[in-house]
Structure 1
């Protein structure tokens, strides 16, 4: 395998993972959350017991694979240190936004969603607070995804900031 093909393959896997991650993030924030009040109470368990846990599985693993392939790609291109230390700010800001977003997914959103959805044991009173915290950090990630995507695309296309 040539270096060029390796770069292509890792970039493809990075973009593929990122599309899944951001696509599910936007599904949660633009479709599922706004639609929940419109769903009759007797039908909500289909979302909370079937759809949401499955979507969250793909969501968190897509986040992790996006980060791993992105870091490998930066290393293979020889700019990982410059980007992470913001010496190459056009890509570096995008990388940092992605790292912050992935941290939110694994250490704030997912643990709180497990409580909210009843995947782990918790007092009934803890569920609404956990759901709200997960939703707020999901909204934060949605907002961060916009400059993250801009940084990544502009950095790869030499537009600059």
Structure 2
């Protein structure tokens, strides 16, 4: 009924006998012009360059992150038990046609996730807070990178010694707790901003996970797989595999608090405001 009323309202009318109002049907040209004018009156929402960049970076970060974490869970929950059941003669084909291609998606999606997320955090939140405070954002950005890269360096040393999983878990817990504490208490910018602080922790976990992917998981698996496919597996294949497994398990468990802090940055204020 509203469409019918609006149609008649748009039609020219004339007064008929007995005081009745007579309506005539619109021509095709009139209908076309009516809709054209209505379309022209509709204004697209306008966005600043910063707002457009923010949504693009968030979209890339989310899509790449879903790919990365999805493959991380695939490796830990599906692939590890699956490979234990595969016959030795079948493993080369599995390595060549499943594991290697999946690792390619895994490592590159990890890199894209972290780059897009880091860019978003640094420009949209840290730089904005720095401008509000009248200072430089580089102190916070540099501190973030220093703390989490050093944390990974210590963790890398521990994993390289191939200890038990419990030792790696305990060391990782202590390291990330201390790293988070350092960042929250000593960041020059954003000490009152939940976005800066929460992503500063969750993103730090992401830095560790990325470096585990490129520094241990990909490198060790590539050495074992390419050697196996060439018929000359490395002599330390078992050690390389164990290190990759420990790094992957570390990423698996770190992904849970990582996602929590990322979500909390916008949906649950736990640090700052």
Q: TM-score, normalised by structure 1?
A: 0.89
What is the CA–CA distance in structure 2 between the aligned matches of 1:145 and 1:25, rounded to whole Å?
9
What residue in structure 2 maps to residue 160 of structure 1?
Answer: 270
As a proportion of its length, which structure holds more helix?
1
Structure 2 unaligned blocks of 5 or more: 1-47, 128-136, 145-182, 185-190
> How large is the RMSD of aligned CA atoms in angstroms?
2.2
Q: Does the alignment pair 1:109 with 2:217?
A: yes
Q: TM-score, normalised by structure 2?
A: 0.54
Which of 227, 239, 245 is residue 135 of structure 1 equivalent to? Answer: 245
Indicate the structure whose relative CO is greater, using CA pairs within 8 Å and at least 6 residues apart.
Answer: 1
What residue in structure 2 maps to residue 67 of structure 1?
Answer: 114
Work out whether residues 17 and 63 of structure 1, in 8 Å CA contact, stay in contact via their aligned partners in 2.
yes
Work out whether residues 91 and 156 of structure 1, in 8 Å CA contact, stay in contact via their aligned partners in 2.
no
Question: Match of 1:152, SS?
Answer: helix
The Cα offsets for residues 85-112 of structure 1, whole Å up to 9 and x where unpaired, read as 4344322110110001101111111111
CA separation of 1:78/1:90 partners in 2, compared to 1, >3 Å: closer, same or farther? Answer: closer
Structure 1 unaligned blocks of 5 or more: none
1:66-85 to 2 correspondence within 5 Å? 66-79=113-126, 81=137, 82=140, 84=144, 85=183
What residue in structure 2 maps to residue 53 of structure 1?
Answer: 100
What residue in structure 1 maps to residue 41 of structure 2?
Answer: none
**Equivalent residues, number:** 161
Work out whether residues 199 and 265 of structure 2, in 8 Å CA contact, stay in contact via their aligned partners in 1.
yes
Which segment is superposed worse, 67-76 or 7-16? Answer: 67-76
CA separation of 1:54/1:4 partners in 2, compared to 1, >3 Å: closer, same or farther? Answer: same
Larger-gyration structure (1/2):
2
The Cα offsets for residues 26-68 of structure 1, whole Å up to 9 and x where unpaired, read as 1000000111122233322222122111011111111111111
Instruction: Please report how far the alpha carbon of residue 119 of structure 1 lies from its aligned counterpart in structure 2 after TM superposition.
Output: 5.2
What is the CA–CA distance in structure 2 between the aligned matches of 1:54 and 1:29, rounded to whole Å?
16
What is the CA–CA distance in structure 2 between the aligned matches of 1:134 and 1:26, rounded to whole Å?
15
What residue in structure 1 maps to residue 257 of structure 2?
Answer: 147
Work out whether residues 223 and 234 of structure 2, in 8 Å CA contact, stay in contact via their aligned partners in 1.
no
What is the CA–CA distance in structure 1 between the aligned matches of 2:233 and 2:65, rounded to whole Å?
35
